[in-house]
Amino acid sequence: MTSTPNSFSSDSNSINPKDILDPFVLENLATHQKFMQRAIDTAEEALRGGETPVACVLVHGGEVVARGMNDTNRSLNGTRHAEFLALAEFFEKFPPSELKNTDLYVTVEPCIMCASALRQYGIRTVFYGCGNDRFGGNGSVLSVHSDENLDPPYPSYGGVYRKEAIMLLRRFYIQENENAPNPRAKGNRELKMVV
């Protein structure tokens, strides 16, 4: 198997269930990959700046109208998540009611805080790269996006460029993070290429 920027070799021939995309996503895969690639590119920019490489784009009318990348390390503000920064940019151009006609493409599943905000604002659909097993609000930890007792739910689909999103995070976490509490020596860490 040849390796390209969007594929990784694997030691086994078995398919990870997390790599199986929903039929809804497969119907228009090229479009979803195009917008997720924009989010991945923005996450690469965050990584180059020493930031956690989580990024997103908001798509309205078939165009990227806002983007955001984590700014928690630089600002030392834990609420400066990619989704919040993209929403702030979006609201400079559109009223909040237009989020019902807008899709979010984000490299990592929205955390519980971001999933709640997206639901309260009425986002149309969320597409994410990899799950967030520690803080995920779209099914990995809590299902904020679909809880029947809250505001109207929104559909959420994971897996588009999942491996690329994971590799960005791995590249970040093997380096030193000056702003991390109680930093640990990371000299013995190796970048695992298999996802």
- Residue 124 tokens read as 């149309």
d(CA 15, CA 10) in angstroms, rounded, equals 9
φ, ψ for residue 14, nearest 5 deg: -75, 150
Identify the active-site residue in 51, 83, 98, 164.
Answer: 83
Strands 102-108 and 55-60, bridge-based pairing: antiparallel
Burial label, 58 (beta-carbon count in 10 A; 0-12, 13-18, 19+): buried
**Residue 83 annotated among the catalytic residues of the structure:** yes
Give the Cα separation of 95 and 50 in Å (integer).
Answer: 32
Neighbours of 85 (CB within 10 A): 19
Joined tokens for residue 194: 């298999």
Q: Between β-strands 55-60 and 63-69, what pairing exists: parallel, antiparallel or unpaired?
A: antiparallel
Catalytic residue set: 83
